[in-house]
Every structure is written in structure tokens, then in C-alpha cells.
Amino acid sequence: MTSENDRLIEAIDRLRRKRNAIILAHNYQPAVIQDIADFQGDSLGLSRKAAESDADVIVFCGVDFMAQTAAVLAPEKLVLIPEERASCPMAHMATAAEVRDMKEKHPGSLVVTYVNSTAEVKAESDVCCTSANAVSVLRSLPKSKPIVFVPDMHLGEYAGKMAGREVILWKGFCPAHHYVKADEIRAAKKKHPDALVMTHPECPLDVVELSDAALSTAGMLKFARESDADEFIVTTEVGMLYPLSKQNPGKRFYCPSAALLCPNMKMTTLQSIVRSLEKDSYPVRIPPDIAERARRPIERMLAVPRD
Ligand code: 13P
Ligand code: SF4
């Protein structure tokens, strides 16, 4: 018997062929969305896919700033986000006006902006970074210039320490990663003494420092694949357990904290993807002048060699 999900997946397959569309899903998306996606990955990897693809329509299953980055990098394509309310709270903890004020307070400084930010904030920035390349980006900057890091204070603190650079920190944070406690990692290590700990650098520094590796979501998939270990404590949004388990049958993955849930990442449904492909909902449009200015710091980031 055909289930409702099977019917929706058939409709998605028919529509994506008809529209010459691709479906991109972030690693934290619900399992059923990851399973039907053409590509799955971290925020930057997906934006790159959007830019390289010859599809006419990109359905971005993730949160607002990711779809915006895709729209900035692929201005000739129609970028759709199936759930209009799927938004990253951290990305809205900095506005363009606040960043301009900060630049006035620190004349001559360079603004390094995490990709988890709005296109308007990127447009005010010197260079972007992701959780995968923040340390390399900081190391690439001239030592004579002060650095303002926007908006994630934890990633900024971690990357500044690793790069040996002093960083003026914004006060933003991710509500899913910020509340993880060092004691929760200690307890998880006690419960799973053979497990390696992989942590996203959006967590507080004392949590990162208890870990074997600080990694982006794509970095975690690589680390788990290449490691000889069989067990891992995964200190990032709980959706990450699905691609890790799927790609590494036989290995075990544990989530150390109930805080690690991002409700915005769980909004996408098969229904909303069908609606998106039928009705062009919801188009992500960046004003051309903002897109042009936001593209420069993203391209500067892409030109920074990895350490
Ligand atoms: P990644 O770029 O590592 O996938 O992280 C995005 C994110 O939102 C983490 O919370
Ligand atoms: Fe934003 Fe945190 Fe959700 Fe990532 S997990 S999208 S940083 S709120």
C-alpha cells in the first residue's frame, strides 16, 4: 500500500524534474528531508552546490541565512525556502546598523562575519568565515589590524585563541549550542569512556576544550568516517546523529545534552517542499546592491587557503 509519504515523495520527484530543480538539505534537517535531498551538507558546502549547479530552481531546506547565501552566490537562479519562518536566531543578533556603529567605535578594524548572518550584515563585512575555516581566515589577516568578529562570540573566542589573534567579540550566540554545559560532556565521557568527542565551535570554549576535535558538521562526517574509533559523543544539534549513523553503520553516536535542538531546522516537511515547487514558495530575493556587497566578503573567504 502506498503511504502518504510515498505519495509526497513521488510528487516531489515529478516536480523537481519538471522544474529542473535541485533540493539541498542541511545536515540538521529531519531524516525524511535528508533522504530525498539531491545534496546534503554544511552551510557553505550547500551554498557552493547552489552556485555550481545548472538547475533553474534551488529548494533550500535549512534556515534563512543559508538560503540567502545561496541567492547571493547564484543570483540568476530562483532560490526557494519551503518554510518562511525557518530562521536562525543567531543570524538576527546583529544588524547592519549595529555593525556600522561597531566599525566607528573601532576605526581601522576588520570585520570578520560568520556565515550565520544576514546578507545586510555580510554587506558591511570585510571577510566571511564558516565554522570550518574561521581559524584560517583569522590567520590570513594582517596582524596590524584589530578584528571584530560577528555575531557568534563562542566561535570568535575559539578561532581567536587557535589563530593567536585578539578578537573583539560580538555578543551573539546559538541558542542550541550556547547552553551546553561542560559537566554534561564530563558525564557523557564517564558513561562512554571509549568515545571520542566531536564538538561544534558554536559551543562555549570550556565545552570545546573538553573535546577531541572542534568541527563543522561536514568536518564531523569526515572525522567519523576516517577515525578508527567506534563511538563518538556528538556535541552539536541532535539532527546530526542521523547522517553520522547512516554513513557509518556499526559506529555509535551519542548526544550529550538536551539543549542541542534547533526547532527552526525541524520545520521543513515533505508537504512544504511540494508546495514550494508548485507555488514558488518562498522566493529568497536579495536586493542587487546588497547581494553585490555581500558577495565580496564571501568570495574573499573562499580565496583563503585552508591550513
Ligand atoms: P555548519 O556550517 O557546520 O553546518 O553549521 C551551521 C550551523 O548552523 C551550526 O549550528
Ligand atoms: Fe542557527 Fe544554532 Fe540553529 Fe545553527 S543550530 S541554525 S546556529 S540556531
CB of 260 shorter than 6 A to ligand 2: no
Copy the grid coordinates of residue 29.
Answer: 534537517
pLDDT at 185 over 80: yes
In this structure, the number of other CB atoms found within 10 A of the CB of residue 164 comes to 10
Q: What mean pLDDT is reported for the chain?
A: 97
Q: What is the pLDDT of residue 307?
A: 64
> H/E element holding 303?
helix 288-303
Map out the domains of the chain as residue ranges: 4-86+265-285, 90-173, 176-261
Question: Region 132-156: what's the mean pLDDT?
Answer: 97
pLDDT at 1 over 70: no
Confidence of residue 146 (pLDDT cuts 50, 70, 90): very high
Residue 37 has φ and ψ, to the nearest 5°, of -70, 150
SS3 content of the chain, % helix, strand, coil (to 5): 45, 15, 40
Q: How far is CA 290 from CA 35, 78, 94, 285, 297, in A?
A: 34, 17, 16, 10, 12
Tally the C-alpha atoms within 13 A of residue 25's C-alpha that lie toward its C-beta.
25
pLDDT at 2 over 80: no
- Which of helix, strand or coil describes residue 110? strand
CATH no. of 176-261: 3.40.50.10800
In sequence order, which residues have a C-beta less than 8 Å from that of residue 76 and are 6 or more positions away?
Answer: none
What percentage of the chain carries pLDDT values higher than 70?
Answer: 99
Which of 220, 265, 266, 267 maximizes ligand 2 atoms within 8 Å of its Cβ, making it the mutation to test the pocket?
265
Question: Region 18-42: what's the mean pLDDT?
Answer: 97
Tally the C-alpha atoms within 13 A of residue 139's C-alpha that lie toward its C-beta.
14
Q: How does 277-302 read in b/e, with b if 16+ C-beta sit within 10 Å?
A: beeeebebebeeebbebbbebbebbe
Tally the C-alpha atoms within 13 A of residue 78's C-alpha that lie toward its C-beta.
14
Atom of ligand 2 nearest to the CA of 202: 7
For the chain, give the number of residues. 307
Scanning the structure block, which residue is given the C-alpha cell 513521488?
10
Q: What is the pLDDT of residue 16?
A: 98
CB of 61 shorter than 6 A to ligand 2: no
Q: What is the pLDDT of residue 246?
A: 98
Residue nearest to atom 1 of ligand 2 (CA): 88
Confidence of residue 43 (pLDDT cuts 50, 70, 90): confident
Same fold, 4-86+265-285 and 176-261: yes
pLDDT tens for each residue of 190-244:
999 999 999 999 999 999 999 999 999 999 999 999 999 999 999 999 999 999 9
d(CA 125, CA 11): 41
In sequence order, which residues have a C-beta less than 8 Å from that of residue 244 and are 6 or more positions away?
Answer: 220, 221, 224, 232, 234, 251, 253
Question: Structurally, what CATH architecture does the domain formed by 90-173 represent?
Answer: 3-Layer(aba) Sandwich (3.40)
In sequence order, which residues have a C-beta less than 8 Å from that of residue 19 and are 6 or more positions away?
Answer: 56, 57, 277
pTM of the full predicted structure? 0.97
Asked if residues 75 and 112 have their Cβ atoms less than 8 Å apart, the reply is no
pLDDT at 67 over 90: yes
pLDDT tens for each residue of 70-126:
999 999 999 999 999 999 999 999 999 999 999 999 999 999 999 999 999 999 999
Scanning 20-76, the segments in alpha helix (DSSP H) are: 31-36, 43-52, 64-73
Q: What is the pLDDT of residue 47?
A: 80
pLDDT at 305 over 90: no
In Å, the largest CA–CA distance within the chain is 67
Asked if residues 59 and 26 have their Cβ atoms less than 8 Å apart, the reply is no
pLDDT tens for each residue of 264-298:
999 999 999 999 999 999 999 999 999 999 999 99
CB of 217 shorter than 6 A to ligand 1: yes
CA of 115 to the centre of ligand 1 (A): 9
Question: Region 17-39: what's the mean pLDDT?
Answer: 98
Question: Region 245-257: what's the mean pLDDT?
Answer: 98
CB of 211 shorter than 6 A to ligand 2: no
d(CA 84, CA 78): 15
Q: What is the pLDDT of residue 199?
A: 98
Question: Structurally, what CATH architecture does the domain formed by 4-86+265-285 represent?
Answer: 3-Layer(aba) Sandwich (3.40)
